[in-house]
Structure 1
């Protein structure tokens, strides 16, 4: 059973998911060309808990790719997954101990093309009932939740830039407390915030 905040949130998210929008990429802000090779499909889970908070992870500091970064649970589509939705649910179970049966999937946002050449599909969902995260120590240093008001407000996001591969790369950030939410995670959450604001 959904809590009252979740019932209202469910309506808002379903409405936001109905807003037409095209795909996005990490190169949008700089108009850089995309990789010529076909991107690898992936799914990430943007799941909101009983209090309407978005569950995020801080990636393990020992990982080869994106160590210590803030991320949505998820990963590449593996054989046997039911596409990006299945990958997002499987990875959330592996990374933070969230049972797929506890997630109500509301829909997906258009795939986001990352600089690492993934076509990352954000899966939007609600967590039914109580949930205590169990971080997978090899992949996740921390699991935390961010209030919906921060995620849903376009004013929470700003554009920053840094030197990357001999040039400048621009990206969205949405810092919250000690957490620096940026890059592809901030980009897809910003797209969701714009839809929620309509």
Structure 2
């Protein structure tokens, strides 16, 4: 679905640099696993977007894949291809709509990740789920968090995925990198988050990746969960 505005052109309304970052100690894989086993009392900050479609609500899941690097955990994200009907060209987690054969939200996330980026489920250690997030396009999304085990490989589907890249979890869990924007569409004000990241692309060149919208909102909820 094409946007009626360009999110990259909108000014930054505010930055949440007054909020504390999650410590590196709390971002280790074992610490995250313990947090999901014994979760704190908390509530997602953003749960439902303003709806701008009449489509029937559809259940979906995404995988929040955490890969282990020497400097700490990083999140694998995808850049969607420009010709897709839903969220073309945007940064996303691997995932998609639930199918009748899926036994659970976790099964959906693992199946979709294998189909989109070639990530075998046997290399994913699922450590927990976040509350559902309902997108403006009518998807009720369950984020499934998993730590990737050594030895995994990726084979992105070129029809759906233009690129797979990594962003350090410590960057995403630092609200100093969370920027708020606002836009009015159809007489309705819409607010959203962005977390732009400058990384290195597949050709070894610096590139700015614009993490925003539903992906940024789910990462913000992960921040609230870990900071609670």
TM-score (norm 1): 0.86
Runs of 4+ in 1 over 4 A off after TM superposition: 32-38
Aligned residues: 190
1:191: Cα distance to partner?
Answer: 1.0
Contact 2:91-2:211 within 8 A present in 1 as well: yes
**In the TM superposition, what are the counterparts of 1:53-132 in structure 2 within 5 Å?**
53-132=74-153
User: Could you tell me the TM-score, scaled by structure 2's length?
Assistant: 0.75
Q: Higher relative contact order by CA 8 Å / sep ≥ 6: 1 or 2?
A: 2
Counterpart residue number, 1:14: 33
Q: 1:102 Cα deviation (Å)?
A: 0.6
Pick the structure with greater CA Rg. Answer: 2
Aligned with residue 43 of structure 1, among 55, 58, 61:
61
Q: 2:204 aligns to what?
A: none
Q: Which has the higher helix share?
A: 1
| 1:25 alignment partner in structure 2 | 47
TM-superposed deviation, 1:151: 1.7
Q: Does the CA-based 8 Å contact 2:171-2:177 persist in structure 1?
A: yes
- In 2, the alpha carbon distance for the partners of 1:100 and 1:43 equals 14
Deviation at 1:66, TM superposition (A): 1.0
Shift of 1:183: 0.6
Q: Which residue of 2 aligns with 1:165?
A: 186
Superposition deviation, residue 130 in structure 1: 2.8
